[in-house]
């Protein structure tokens, strides 16, 4: 199926799901008279009226014959036909060949369906979490809580529910938890923050982060001078310390970053990222941590 056929099928399917009687802007609409069975839902003429365009303009668009429809026209069509976000993405792809530059719903990415919390909590063996578009953690499992530095014999806790604030502004993250902090963590994450602030100018949490990070004496110079345009973390591998909770193991080289924190192990963490459908900008992360192996006798490695 080509894009024209796919566009036509999507638009016909969506308008036939809508009841003309439930459209306030169609009050006073005079239905057409004539022979033949009336198709359910909205007609092309009714959609055109709701879009404030001629019937021919909308009919040409539905057939894929409208050259270069504007983004405003596409978004108006998405609103009139009550398209879900993933359906709007399909509308853009079929009509102009690329995805929308931003979500239609201003709250998209700030809310995640509650079932994600239950799903994430049942993941075992690897730390995982979901954050919203401003890096606020909205769901996580036990392994995620256990990965942060802690005092000996202390219960594990999340030191900061906003991960961007933790990485860029928390001293424990900068000095003890995240190895090679400036090059492997601060530079790529500050680039992500700059991109998100530009993409979601109405998000108050992102605007607050922008101000806090820019004013910080440590992260601020990195953030202000960072010329990286955009960074996608999926598949990135970085160095970090992970607290050790198990019994002594000769294969696990444990040490302490400082006297205030419990024993930990250094290694590589790889980030596997995905996006919950219906929440553009939100992200699900699975963190795969691989500790460094202990050196064997006589300096021989495995």
Give the pLDDT mean for 214-238: 83
* pLDDT, mean over the chain: 83
Give the pLDDT mean for 105-119: 71
**pLDDT of the residue at 302:** 45
Instruction: Say whether pLDDT at 232 is over 80.
Output: no
**pLDDT of the residue at 213:** 96
Instruction: Say how far apart CA 192 and CA 196 lie, in whole Å.
Output: 6
Whether CATH 1.10.260 fits 3-96: yes
Asked, colleague to colleague, whether 3-96 and 115-299 share their fold, the answer is no
Instruction: Say whether pLDDT at 196 is over 80.
Output: yes
* Most confident of the ranges 11-25, 53-67, 148-162, 203-217: 203-217
**pLDDT of the residue at 1:** 55
Task: Using alpha carbons, list the distances in angstroms from residue 14 to 36, 66, 72.
Answer: 22, 19, 19
**pLDDT of the residue at 127:** 94
* Single pTM value for the model: 0.66
Q: Which CATH number is 115-299's, of 3.30.450, 3.40.190, 1.20.120, 1.10.287?
A: 3.30.450
Domain ranges of the chain: 3-96, 115-299
Instruction: Say whether pLDDT at 250 is over 70.
Output: no
The 10 Å Cβ neighbour count of residue 280 is: 20
67-102: per-residue pLDDT in tens?
Answer: 788 999 999 999 999 998 778 888 999 998 888 877
């Amino acid at each position: 199926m080509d894009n024209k056929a796919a566009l036509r099928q999507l638009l016909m399917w969506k308008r036939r799901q809508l009841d003309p009687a439930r459209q306030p802007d169609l009050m006073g609409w005079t239905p057409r008279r004539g022979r033949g069975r009336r198709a359910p839902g909205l007609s092309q003429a009714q959609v055109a009226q709701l879009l404030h365009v001629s019937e021919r303009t909308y009919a040409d668009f539905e057939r894929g014959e409208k050259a270069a429809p504007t983004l405003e026209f596409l978004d108006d069509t998405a609103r009139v036909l009550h398209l879900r976000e993933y359906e709007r993405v399909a509308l853009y792809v079929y009509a102009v060949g690329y995805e929308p530059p931003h979500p239609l719903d201003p709250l998209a990415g700030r809310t995640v369906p509650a079932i994600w919390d239950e799903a994430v909590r049942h993941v075992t063996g690897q730390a995982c979490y979901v954050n919203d578009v401003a890096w606020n953690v909205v769901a996580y499992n036990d392994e995620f809580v256990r990965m942060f530095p802690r005092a000996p014999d202390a219960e594990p806790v999340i030191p900061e529910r906003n991960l961007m604030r933790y990485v860029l502004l928390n001293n424990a993250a900068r000095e003890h938890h995240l190895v090679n902090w400036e090059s492997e963590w601060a530079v790529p994450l500050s680039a992500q923050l700059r991109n998100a602030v530009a993409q979601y100018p109405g998000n108050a949490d992102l605007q607050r982060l922008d101000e806090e990070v820019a004013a910080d004496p440590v992260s601020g110079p990195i953030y202000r001078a960072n010329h990286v345009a955009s960074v996608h973390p999926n598949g990135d591998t970085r160095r970090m310390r992970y607290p050790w909770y198990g019994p002594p193991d000769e294969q696990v080289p444990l040490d302490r970053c400082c006297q205030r924190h419990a024993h930990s192990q250094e290694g590589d963490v790889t980030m596997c990222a995905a996006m919950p459908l219906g929440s553009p900008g939100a992200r699900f992360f699975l963190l795969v941590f691989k500790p460094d192996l202990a050196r064997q006798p006589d300096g021989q490695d495995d």
